[in-house]
Structure 1
Amino acid sequence: MQADRAEPLIAIVDDDANVRDTLSALMRDSGFDAVCCPDIPAFLALGDPPQVDLALIDLRLRGESGLTLAIHIRERYEIPIVMLTGVGDEIDKIIGLETGADDYMIKPFNPRELVARIRAVLRRYGHGTTRPSAAPDQEIAFGTMRLDVQSRRLLDGQGEEIPLTNAEYRLLEYFAQNPNRIIPRPELLEKLGSDMQRYVDRTIDVLILRLRRKIEAVPSKPVHLQTRRAQGYIFQLSPV
């Protein structure tokens, strides 16, 4: 959050004026500030780096792709990204995950859920209230890491947070709460729930690869999150 502002500033990038107005009002009613951008050049005109705390981007911008902007942001800045996409845009969702988007919402969305998702993403980037420490029974330890299920954080051996997107956290939490058993892919899609039910199998592959880069010493030789060919995945709290 910028030091001279009390409220996080959300950049709304959408080519539909009605959507921009609706989202802007929602942000302000929810305790945020908002700046509206009808296209990518308007966002780039905000500065280098842009003085915003989060970018809310529609994937289907007229004449251009929101993914282009997401890639631009991820390569240059530490600005969280939440993407809005229409029903059935599975390919865009997959590509969006690979570019490092922090979360997704599928249109039409529940306004309260969108606000909750934005707040959760901002917290992961250090905005908002101080996170409470978890009680021992609210943590799941594996290797040198701890999953704090109260504050939804992954901590390394020094207690430092390893940033996870919402989808990455939900997947890791489910694995950690169901260790040492093979979980088939359909179950993962079902248990992740919400908009994840509309994702295709390829999305699970993307999330698994991203998680391994964050929790495994050698991602190509995982000791915690392992594949069982033609069966699914198994999560081991302690290497065998």
Structure 2
Amino acid sequence: MQNPTPHILVVDDHSEIRNAVCRYLEKHGMRASMAKDAKEMDAALVSGSIDLIVLDVMMPGEDGLSACKRLSQTGDVPILLLTALDEDMDRIIGLETGADDYLSKPFNPRELLARIRAILRRSSRTVSPAGSLAGKRIRFAQWILDSDRRVIVDEEGRETSLTSADFKLLVVMLERARMVLSRDQLMELTSGRATAPLDRTIDNQISRLRRKIEKDLLRPRLITTYRNGGYCLSADIEVLET
């Protein structure tokens, strides 16, 4: 549950940026803590209740993209990535691995504050990333999704773990099985934001999910593409007894 005063963890190896961002957030009614790298970030997450992480991509040691992927697999703390201005791939990979939003450096502090508030509003409205499928096991085609454990199980009992982004996308499509969903709809339903021009985030996420659930990537049968329409999960679903 989100704290009355949101607690933001700012992770950046540049002390000037850390200090400036924390001062600005505290000035606008938030509690802010700092970490200079992923190691200090992990310690802060253990010792305090964090509502959102502002995470720089370029850091010594474990970089922000690796830390984002790791955190998205083990928890639900929202993450806002800070990326270099021209690193489009960092933004795409970050969103694929579980980041909730990104902001390019250099940035306007007012925009950072607005992005943080928007993410906090979305996370406070979201009871569970599993949506209506929380606590359930769902069969689709040759797979079973275990929503509590965030794994899919094949017909021979072999398990495949899902990243946070994979899981959110699959849940959205299972809840709307056999419906064609546009890229804009998928972006809104999975991330709560609109697609930008030439934004390939959803296409890349679909490709990643297909690699996990399709038997033949050249002829996908579970997630089908509709030209100028979007994507559709072409399978019936069955909620299994727990």
Q: CA deviation at 1:163?
A: 3.6
Shift of 1:207: 2.0
Show CA shifts across 1:6-39 (max 9, x none).
2111110011111111100111122221111111
- Is 2:4 the counterpart of 1:37? no
Say which of 170, 179, 188 aligns to 2:195: 170
Cα distance in 1 for partners of 2:109, 2:53 equals: 16
Equivalent residue runs for 1:117-196 within 5 Å = 117-126=115-124, 162-166=189-193, 169-170=194-195, 188-189=197-198
Give the aligned partner of residue 201 of structure 2: 206
Measured at CA, do residues 237 and 101 of structure 1 come closer, stay the same or move farther in structure 2, by a change above 3 Å? closer
SS at the partner of 2:59?
coil
1:50, 1:31 → 2: CA distance? 18
Q: Distance in 2 between matches of 1:108 and 1:73?
A: 25
Q: Which residue of 2 aligns with 1:111?
A: 109
Code of the residue aligned with 1:170 in structure 2: it is T
Alpha-carbon distance, 1:44 to partner:
0.8
Are the structure 2 counterparts of residues 123 and 98 from structure 1 closer, same or farther at C-alpha, using a change threshold of 3 Å?
same
Q: Do the aligned partners of 1:212 and 1:225 also contact (CA within 8 Å) in 2?
A: no
1:235 has 2:229 as partner:
yes
3-state SS of the aligned residue for 1:45?
helix
Indicate conservation of the 8 Å contact 2:37/2:61, yes or no.
Answer: no
Displacement, 1:92? 2.0
Q: Identity of paired residues, percent?
A: 33
How big is the shift at 1:237?
A: 11
Given candidates 8, 11, 27, the residue that maps to 2:9 is 11
- C-alpha contact (below 8 Å) 2:10/2:34 kept by paired residues: yes
Q: CA RMSD in A?
A: 3.8
Using a 3 Å threshold, how does the CA distance of structure 1 residues 212 and 19 change in structure 2: closer, same or farther? same
Q: 1:146 to 1:49 in 2, by over 3 A?
A: farther
Structure 2: tracts of 5 or more residues without a match:
127-177, 215-219, 233-242
Distance 1:121 1:10 in 2: 12
Structure 1 stretches of 4+ moved >6 Å: 143-147, 211-214
In structure 1, how many angstroms separate the alpha carbons of the residues matched to 2:95 and 2:66? 13
- 1:79-118 aligned at under 5 Å gives the runs 79-118=77-116
SS across alignment from 1:170: coil
Paired AA for residue 119 in structure 1? R
- Name the count of aligned residue pairs: 175
Measure the CA separation in 2 of the matches of 1:236 and 1:91: 22
**Aligned partner of 1:21: which letter?**
N
Deviations 1:152-206 (A, max 9, x none): x98xxxxxx944253xx335xxxxxxxxxxxxxxxx32xxxxxxxxxxxxxx443
Which residue pairs with 1:54 in the alignment?
52
CA distance in 2, matches of 1:63, 1:104: 21
**Inter-partner Cα distance in structure 1 for 2:11 and 2:69:** 14
What secondary structure is seen at the aligned counterpart in 2 of 1:101?
A: coil
Q: Residue type of the partner of 1:51? A: S
